[in-house]
Amino acid sequence: MKIAISAAETSGDLIASSLVKSLKAISPKYEIDGLAGNKMIEAGCKSLWHTDEINVMGISEVVKKLPQVLGVRKSIISYYSLNKPDVFIGVDSPDFNFKIEKKLRRLGVKTIHLVSPSVWAWRAKRIKKIKESTDLILCLFPFEVDFYRKHNQKALFIGHPLAEKLSPRKNYKENKQVLLMPGSREAEIKTLLPELVSTVILMRQNDPELKFSMSLANDHHKEWVEREILDLNIDLSVGDAYEKIKEADLVIVASGTATLEVALIGVPMIVIYKLSFISYQIVKRLLNTEFISLPNKILGKAIVPELIQDKVNGKKISNIAMQLITSDSQPIVSELRKIHGLLNQNSSAKSVDAVIKVINE
């Protein structure tokens, strides 16, 4: 059985790695290859292209790297048109993956899209493209399936694979530890880090006993970050986010999958989101959702603070952070624990069953 997978972002690599691992557990003979990141490779996926080649954030940032992104996509379409897999699985990154799926589907390749695009939040008209591109959408969140049912698109709620790996921490004792998670992409890190540095300085003025750590998703920009935080006494590490989250009283985190990781471990957080001026002007006109963070969207209410664009500054972040650190965190923790119960659905097994079923149809 030949299975092709395309994960164009760090978050997609993380999610796809669980599926790869589960497929390999059923049969090590399954041939799994495609556009893969390090976690997928570790799980047993052969990397024909690497996620790092095209992992970018924001509209203006994508434009700069567009020739390379389009080149990789063209190469994927060409390769799998000649070497047809039993199924092609696009993981997240809808603007990148749907065109591949559409082209291959027309050639008779069965297609699955893992991780629904946020059609419930913005650009709902994409449903037409979705219906043309994929045989099945695998949804990580329960509220997404309702949207697809209204449009007669086959979709299945599988829960989130992270809920199998992560669970609410127990017997935690406060220790004045604050974790900073500035994201995984270059534009994201370089936009948010100056504000986080300012936040650290201001928070230390309020409480000199506070301890700060920063966890990076990869080491691509580690040297730059080290220079920026020099002499600030921030413990910098790479690839150990889960351990660091478990040790923190508070996490200040870039909007994205990382917010779900923090929520599943049950740690209070502040979610920050900032794009380039041009990207934000475009995106804000297309948004149709009250919340930008996954924890708030899943729970349907404002449980964790969200700071967007101009509100992402050291003074604002530090003020909210000090309020959270000095108040009772249990009400927030109790709400976040509900997310684990909602998403812990044995998603890896459900995904594997769905993939095998589509292949055999």
SS (H, E, C) 266-292: CCCEEEEECCCHHHHHHHHHHECCCCC
**Residue ranges, the chain, pLDDT below 70:** 56-62, 119-124, 276-289
* φ and ψ at residue 111, rounded to 5 degrees: -130, 140
Render pLDDT for 170-188 as a digit per residue (tens, 0 to 9).
999 999 999 999 998 888 8
Tell me what pLDDT residue 123 has: 59
CA angle 282, 56, 71 (to 5 degrees): 105
Confidence (pTM): 0.76
Q: What CATH fold (topology level) applies to the domain 2-159+345-360?
A: Rossmann fold (3.40.50)
Confidence at residue 75, expressed as pLDDT on a 0 to 100 scale: 98
Taking alpha carbons only, the member of 152, 135, 127, 156 closest to residue 144 is 156
**Within this chain, domains 2-159+345-360 and 177-342 share the same CATH topology:** yes
- How does DSSP assign 246-258, residue by residue? HT-SEEEEESSHH
Query: What per-residue confidence (pLDDT) applies to 15?
Result: 87
Residue ranges of domains in the chain: 2-159+345-360, 177-342
d(CA 55, CA 60): 13
Could you tell me the CATH superfamily of domain 177-342? Glycogen Phosphorylase B; (3.40.50.2000)
The runs of H, that is alpha helices, within 117-240 are 127-133, 142-150, 162-165, 186-206, 222-228
pLDDT of residue 161: 83
pLDDT value of residue 118: 74
The first and second tokens of residue 160, run together, are: 């989130």
- pLDDT value of residue 292: 78
What's residue 110's pLDDT? Answer: 98
Report the pLDDT value the prediction gives residue 165, as an integer from 0 to 100.
87
What pLDDT does 62 receive?
65
